[in-house]
Amino acid sequence: MPITVTPTAIPDVLVIEPKVFGDDRGWFFESFNEKDFAAAIRQPITFVQDNHSSSKKGVLRGLHYQMEQTQGKLVRVCYGAVFDVAVDLRQSSPTFGKWVGMELSAENKKQLWIPEGFAHGFLVLSDEAEFLYKTTDYWHATSEQCIVWNDATLNIEWPKMDVSPILNPKDQSGLSWAAASKFA
């Protein structure tokens, strides 16, 4: 298999590392292979949308999720570096209310699989970053929710920055963990 799959502290959230082929000309890797990915997560997945964002240092996006048309996400960085976070919103899960975070970068080429039932966000660590992600369902604006990034109950350990996080109005007014909708 040309990818390495490593479970995180939340076993359903997986680190996907592609096999990189390099020589004096540069490098190559498969960023996605449906057969290998389905084997890695032990189920077939259909992605319906690819998203690509660009952000400057200190931008914090999240913690976002949708209550309808829930989305699984395969996320990666093609330029720069981010600290990526997934929060388990599944009340039936033994890891309900827990979070995992890791650095994703163009250099380490790691990807993170975040299944349905999680809130997701990231903080840009480099001067700029380009973030790519595949989703298993379409954006559903009316059911989108946001948990505030610095909720005291979740106590996410974001990396220390020399600037305050840059947030859009939606993320500034995110819900507390207690007020946020959860999944069964």
Establish how many alpha carbons lie within 13 A of residue 178's alpha carbon, considering only the half-sphere containing its beta carbon: 2
Give how far Cα 76 sits from Cα of 38, 105, 122, 160, Å. Answer: 17, 7, 11, 21
Cβ neighbors of 108 (< 8 A, separation 6 or more) are: none
Indicate which residue of 64, 65, 120, 140 is catalytic: 64
d(CA 132, CA 135): 10
User: Considering 65, 120, 133, 140, which one is annotated as catalytic?
Assistant: 133
Give catalytic status of residue 64 as yes or no: yes
- Note whether 54 and 75 are within 8 A (CB): no
- With beta carbons less than 8 A apart as the criterion, state whether 58 and 163 touch: yes
* Catalytic residue check, 140: no
- Give the phi and the psi of residue 58 in degrees, each rounded to 5: 90, -10
Half-sphere CA count of 116, side-chain side, radius 13 A: 14
- Give the torsion through C-alpha atoms of 13, 17, 69, 88, to 10 deg: 20
Could you list the active site residues?
64, 133
